[in-house]
Amino acid sequence: MLFSSVTFLYFFLFAVLAVYFIAPRRLKNAVLLLFSLFFYAYGEPRLVVLMLLSVLFGYVHGLLMGKFRNKPRAKKLCLISSVCFSLAPLLIYKYTDFFIANLNALGASLPLLKLTLPIGISFYTFQIISYTADVYRGDAAPQKNPIDLAAYIALFPQLIAGPIVRYTDVAHDLAHRTHSVEKIGEGALRFSIGLGKKVLIANVLGELSAALLTTEASILGAWVRAAALMLQIYFDFSGYSDMAIGLGTMLGFRFPENFNYPFISQSATEFWRRWHMTLGSWFRDYVYIPLGGSRVSTAKHIRNIFAVWFLTGFWHGASWNFILWGLFFGVLLLAEKFLLKGFFDKLPRVLRHIYLLLAAAVSFLLFDAPDLASASERILSLFGGAPLVSAEGLYQCKNYFTVLLIASIGATPLPKRLTERLFSTAAGKKAAVILVPLFMAALILVSTAYLVDGSFNPFLYFRF
């Protein structure tokens, strides 16, 4: 089920909120678990069993590590076992065909399994690993209540597309969260902003991006498509994160932020501190630092950086495009850290911005293309091989100009700063009481209008 669907907004969410707030406190996690399982099973009824098994293994391993807390060797074995059991379904469902295809390319002739990728498996697998790793390190106590642990892992707001909420982020909230009308209002506003970002901007930019792929090629069209794609992916994913965070707030949770205006960055290093922050910090804490981080020899440090970026790319998808996409950022980060540091520091800010935007644009063309050949063709089309302008390309640019403009401004902190300034005065605060709810209602109703009218509504991050 998609958040940006009539079924979710006007059926599922209504039912969840009604039952959740009527239920007594001790049953709230059970209510959340039941609705989360329904939410998951709605699209993939059979694969819910796989998720429940993963939760069960995580739960048992957590308890065992608690039991072996004074036996480091046994505890470590538990952690290894837990990571293996967690990663096995991910490897089987997501990566088997990739490995088979590569073996076939080397001469083997194995049949592809063509397994359906369970929705959200990359997210819930990482959450289970973070739980057992935190229990292993002693950062979290083992969860004795299986319903509470299952509710955390299956929690519908973040189940299928993040943010990656670590157990330690919500362990306290699972047992002691509070609810209030104000939190519902705050969460509702955040959810509505995310809905608008997804439905009114990301989906529309997706139309532009698709239209420019099928129109007569031109250099202008290629650049506009690269910009549209970059903004589409940002508004799609950050919109989803906003909706997840908003829903969490309504239900009394505090989820971590996942985006912080990544396109205002001045380097790839900064970009990844602002883009998909929960994934970046997950890899930092559970891969990079355990490998030694930067406190090792330069060679090992470089190895650690490449390992993280290889895995970051591979996590996004079982294809060489994604691996290269991750490694592309790995190379940029290494260059910024070891080769160009002094040079970058001397560059004017505007040039550093341009560098980052160009790098991001190229990277997302690689990210989005169905295969390496298409990726290289689309990247090369930025620099020639077609007329500067085509009539159809120009038409589409004019057709979507306002949305592109809104998206470009919306990807910066400017709107937030302006509204904060506007509503900081006494009169502004009074006006906000009326204007902000009106804005939220307009966002929901116009988004509903777009949903009712259109069918173009895929979530890009569903495939991860």
Partner 1 sequence: MHDKLKNRILAALFLLIVAGGFLLHVFLPDAARSTAERRSLAKLPEITLSSLLGGKFSQNFDTYALDQFPFREGFRSVKAFVQYKLLGRKDSNGIFLAEGHIGKLEYPLSESSAYRAAEKFVQLRDTCFPESQVFLSLVPDKSYFLAEQNGYPALDYEKMFAIMKENTPGFTYIDVTDTLSAQDYYTTDAHWRQECLEDTALRLAEGLGVKDSFKWEYEAIDIPDFYGVYHGQAALPFKPDTLTYLTSPTTEDALVYNVEMGKTETGVYDLAKLTDGKSMDMYDIFLSGAAAVLKVTNTHAEGAAKGRELIIFRDSFTSSIAPLLLDGYESITLVDIRYIASEFLPQYVDFNGQDVLFLYSTSVINSSSMLK
Which residue in the set 339, 372, 388, 445 belongs to the binding site for partner 1 (CB under 8 A)?
A: 445
Q: What DSSP character marks residue 203?
A: H
CA separation for the pair 160, 461 (Å, rounded)? 8
- Residue 452 touching partner 1 (CB under 8 A): yes
* Minimal distance, residue 32 CB to partner 1, in Å: 17
CA separation for the pair 20, 12 (Å, rounded)? 12
Query: How wide is the angle at C-alpha 74 spanned by C-alphas 69 and 78, nearest 5°?
Result: 90
- Residue 45 touching partner 1 (CB under 8 A): yes
* Minimal distance, residue 254 CB to partner 1, in Å: 16
Helix axes 219-250, 203-214, angle to 10 degrees: 160
CB atoms within 10 A of CB 355: 19
- What DSSP assignment string belongs to 130-199? HHHHHHHHTSSPPP--HHHHHHHHH-HHHHTT-----HHHHHHHHHH----HHHHHHHHHHHHHHHHIII
Site for partner 1 in 148-187 (CB under 8 A): 181-186
* Minimal distance, residue 89 CB to partner 1, in Å: 19
Is 266 or 448 the residue whose CB approaches partner 1 more closely?
448
- Residue 108 touching partner 1 (CB under 8 A): no
- Residue 458 touching partner 1 (CB under 8 A): no
Is 6 or 380 the residue whose CB approaches partner 1 more closely?
6
Q: Check 61, 276, 301, 316 and give the catalytic one.
A: 316
CA separation for the pair 31, 45 (Å, rounded)? 18
Site for partner 1 in 365-394 (CB under 8 A): 391-392
Which residue in the set 446, 458, 462, 463 belongs to the binding site for partner 1 (CB under 8 A)?
A: 446
Range in contact with partner 1 (rule: CB under 8 A) among 273-281, 313-321, 413-421, 441-449: 441-449
30, 83, 277, 313, 339 from 306: Cα distances, Å: 42, 21, 18, 10, 16
Is 8 or 275 the residue whose CB approaches partner 1 more closely?
8
Range in contact with partner 1 (rule: CB under 8 A) among 56-64, 65-73, 233-241, 445-453: 445-453
- Residue 425 touching partner 1 (CB under 8 A): no
- Residue 188 touching partner 1 (CB under 8 A): yes
CA separation for the pair 423, 199 (Å, rounded)? 26
Q: Is 316 among the catalytic positions?
A: yes
CA separation for the pair 421, 33 (Å, rounded)? 41
CA separation for the pair 201, 408 (Å, rounded)? 10
Per CB under 8 A, residues contacting partner 1 are 1, 5-7, 9-11, 13-14, 17-18, 42-46, 181-186, 188-189, 191-192, 214-216, 391-392, 395, 398-403, 429-430, 432-434, 436-437, 440-441, 444-446, 448-454
List, by residue number, the catalytic residues. 316
